[in-house]
Amino acid sequence: MEMTPPESTPSDYLTQREAMQLFGVQKSKFAELRDKHNIPFCTLSRRRLYRRSDLVALIEAHMVSSATTRGEDSK
What confidence tens digit (pLDDT) does each residue in 17-36 have?
Answer: 999 999 999 999 999 999 99
How many residues are listed for the chain in this entry?
A: 75
Q: Which residue has the higher pLDDT, 69 or 37?
A: 37
Q: Which residue has the higher pLDDT, 32 or 73?
A: 32
Alpha-carbon span 35 to 67, nearest angstrom: 30
- Its CATH class, for the domain covering 12-64, is mainly alpha
- Listed by start position, the domains of the chain span 12-64
Alpha-carbon span 73 to 25, nearest angstrom: 25
What pLDDT score was predicted for residue 43?
A: 94
Any bridge partners for residue 43, and if so which?
A: 48
Any bridge partners for residue 15, and if so which?
A: 49
Q: What angle do CA 30, 52, 60 make, to 5 degrees?
A: 75
